[in-house]
Chains A and B, each alone.
Chain A
């Protein structure tokens, strides 16, 4: 199967900081690929290079067989880009904003009118199409932001944190829509802080940290990197910093991080067997008020691979 989007050896340096280092992955036709990484990992820099907004120092990007550097217009015409920040004219209506983007992509007048109606229907905003954007809720703006990227029927849709700051109803609508697009054969590159969204939408996931893709695979493949490890969450009352250090030193604990004001999250081998040892380790420092052993999931894999929670 040919890749709709592929990149190899992408690097970008800002002064002394190597923001992206030798990043490479591919997305097949109709495949949803998730890019996970903590803040500052290099996700947005990588995406900026993938959509042609930033010139890489090294490496190349291919979109549907078009080299982005050699034939940028043909390559960009195949991409639908949904930026993290909502980029819409607030004093124009939803329909007028879509018309602007459709014209930008050179859609003929009649086709554009038809596509605008289709896209408005798809994002569920037909009834608010003629309202100005500055009267929309955050979720509605996000949906139009996505709609603008769909007008020209792109081969690959790149979504950079598309659900940031939206209400649950709009998030559900966005995720349902994205799943529908993938089911219809569109390729997808999805970045999000929300692990559950990536688990739900994406077939394969790349984990990026400190500018490098440190692991890549299906959810099952990534979780299997944990081996027989479990994720354990302890709710404690006491000195959590000292308790975290104590727990980290316990044999069989591979990761221990604070989670909120009263919890410590751990990756441990044979979690259920190790529980008495864990509780004993914090005795005198903190009182364990609740314990949860969670089956290995993508978040545990992420924690294991990066040593950070995703939202750090």
Chain B
């Protein structure tokens, strides 16, 4: 196959895409706006390993407050920030700077938890605060019980400390939770938006394929010394390059701007590469099926957003419920998200995501196969 026609088609398509100002906005600006704002709402961390920020208003002289604070500070997952006023805490929670807040009134055991987020970091903060408060409450109850049994306050405290020391030997280990936990902040929104925007923008450029058909460019190309498969390859390759450029752009910029860690490069390349093939297949299919160029943007991007929702690109799938999670596995985004999140965890590499990559490649083969059959038929019938 002569490379000239393929190169000619790719060069013309890429040049045309580079002149589409609206398309460039959605490719170059929109993904980062989304990553920034959604990432901040989800906790604003790039690695997914940062501590969850919690604001606390309490007096140092208050024994309950001291005990709760001491308990919270033992947690390696929490970053405790002491604040002077309730409004500071509420404002921090409202703006997303804090995952949650805790107000401890002096001399009272009636604590107030401040939170607005029902996402991963908010729920995690609440869980850890519950545990800490529960432990302090347990100690207070134990001291009261010892005193009721006739012990002096000093004896009661010694007994409780002894009980605590022995209970500390009882270790509760959690399995699976760490592996399945969803990263927070940019660590979540960056991979989510790689998949979302790669797919959505691939679907948007499907319009250009329909436009080439409408303009008669494909027909005229075939009147030259060009094989049908060269035209097919040129058109497919153009869309694949756009998908890869989109994915790479988001990954590079989010690494530099938001300090996102992606994990094993080989694994990431395999996942993102196979997802780009899926997006290309979908784009060529839509571009071949629609009758006019205006139909492609009306169908493609909304479809991309719906698939992104189902696949966990717009919000963590853990908040979506079991049924939606199951449906998410019917779309490529679900498999892509699982794979990219897995790769962010320590010690994970290509071997850990082989199933996801295989499923994505299977979807790509299926979509590309169908799209090429439809596209070829369109080329012939448009003659």
Q: Say which residue of A90, A92, A104 sits within 8 Å of B221 (CB atoms).
A: A104
Cβ-defined contact, A92 with B223, below 8 A: no
Cβ-defined contact, A73 with B227, below 8 A: yes
Q: Say which residue of B4, B19, B216, B223 sits within 8 Å of A85 (CB atoms).
A: B216
Give per-residue flags for A60-101: 1 if the beta carbon is below 8 A from chain B beta carbons, else 0: 000000000000111011010101011111111000100011
* Cα A86 to Cα B383 with chains together (Å): 15
Q: Which residues of B contact A86 (CB under 8 A)?
A: 216
Cβ-defined contact, A53 with B223, below 8 A: yes
Cβ-defined contact, A106 with B225, below 8 A: yes
Q: Which residues of A contact B383 (CB under 8 A)?
A: 48, 53-54
Q: Is B12's beta carbon under 8 Å from chain A?
A: yes
Cβ-defined contact, B219 with A87, below 8 A: yes
Q: Which residues of A contact B12 (CB under 8 A)?
A: 89, 92, 96, 100
Q: Is B224's beta carbon under 8 Å from chain A?
A: yes
Q: Which residues of B contact A101 (CB under 8 A)?
A: 8, 224
Cβ-defined contact, A100 with B224, below 8 A: no
Q: Say which residue of B4, B15, B20, B220 sits within 8 Å of A81 (CB atoms).
A: B220
Q: Is B11's beta carbon under 8 Å from chain A?
A: yes
Q: Is B232's beta carbon under 8 Å from chain A?
A: no
* Cα A77 to Cα B225 with chains together (Å): 5
Q: Is A279's beta carbon under 8 Å from chain B?
A: no
Taking CB atoms and an 8 Å cut-off, the chain B residues in 168-201 that contact chain A are none
Q: Is B330's beta carbon under 8 Å from chain A?
A: no
Most buried by A among B215, B221, B223: B223
Cβ-defined contact, B226 with A104, below 8 A: yes
Q: Is B137's beta carbon under 8 Å from chain A?
A: no
Q: A38 → chain B, closest Cβ, in Å?
A: 22
Q: Which residues of B contact A106 (CB under 8 A)?
A: 2, 4-5, 225
Closest to B224 in A: A104
* Cα A143 to Cα B347 with chains together (Å): 63
The 4 closest A-B CB pairs, nearest first, are A103-B8, A87-B216, A87-B220, A77-B225
Q: Is B222's beta carbon under 8 Å from chain A?
A: yes
Q: Say which residue of A76, A89, A96 sits within 8 Å of B223 (CB atoms).
A: A76
Q: Is A52's beta carbon under 8 Å from chain B?
A: yes
* Cα A103 to Cα B215 with chains together (Å): 19
Q: B235 → chain A, closest Cβ, in Å?
A: 13
Q: Is B217's beta carbon under 8 Å from chain A?
A: yes
Q: A53-B383, A77-B225, A100-B8 are in contact. Are A83 and B15 (CB under 8 A)?
A: no
Cβ-defined contact, B219 with A103, below 8 A: no
Cβ-defined contact, A52 with B15, below 8 A: no
Cβ-defined contact, A83 with B216, below 8 A: yes
Cβ-defined contact, A105 with B225, below 8 A: yes
Closest to A145 in B: B220
Cβ-defined contact, B216 with A89, below 8 A: no
* Cα A85 to Cα B215 with chains together (Å): 8
Q: Is B76's beta carbon under 8 Å from chain A?
A: no
Q: Is A51's beta carbon under 8 Å from chain B?
A: yes
Q: A181 → chain B, closest Cβ, in Å?
A: 18
Cβ-defined contact, B5 with A103, below 8 A: yes
Q: B153 → chain A, closest Cβ, in Å?
A: 84
* Cα A103 to Cα B2 with chains together (Å): 11
Q: Say which residue of B11, B219, B223 sits within 8 Å of A100 (CB atoms).
A: B11
Cβ-defined contact, B15 with A92, below 8 A: yes
Closest to A52 in B: B223
Taking CB atoms and an 8 Å cut-off, the chain B residues in 327-354 that contact chain A are none
Cβ-defined contact, A87 with B225, below 8 A: no
Q: Is B7's beta carbon under 8 Å from chain A?
A: yes
* Cα A86 to Cα B219 with chains together (Å): 11
6 examples of A-B residue contacts, CB within 8 angstroms: A76-B224, A83-B216, A89-B217, A92-B16, A101-B8, A103-B11
Q: Which residues of A contact B19 (CB under 8 A)?
A: 91
Cβ-defined contact, B4 with A104, below 8 A: yes
Taking CB atoms and an 8 Å cut-off, the chain A residues in 44-58 that contact chain B are 48, 51-54
Q: Which residues of A contact B5 (CB under 8 A)?
A: 103-104, 106
Cβ-defined contact, A88 with B8, below 8 A: no
Q: Which residues of B contact A85 (CB under 8 A)?
A: 216
Cβ-defined contact, A87 with B215, below 8 A: yes
* Cα A53 to Cα B216 with chains together (Å): 12
Cβ-defined contact, A96 with B15, below 8 A: yes
* Cα A89 to Cα B293 with chains together (Å): 14
Cβ-defined contact, B223 with A90, below 8 A: no
* Cα A137 to Cα B41 with chains together (Å): 52
* Cα A101 to Cα B220 with chains together (Å): 9
* Cα A66 to Cα B226 with chains together (Å): 16
Cβ-defined contact, B215 with A88, below 8 A: yes
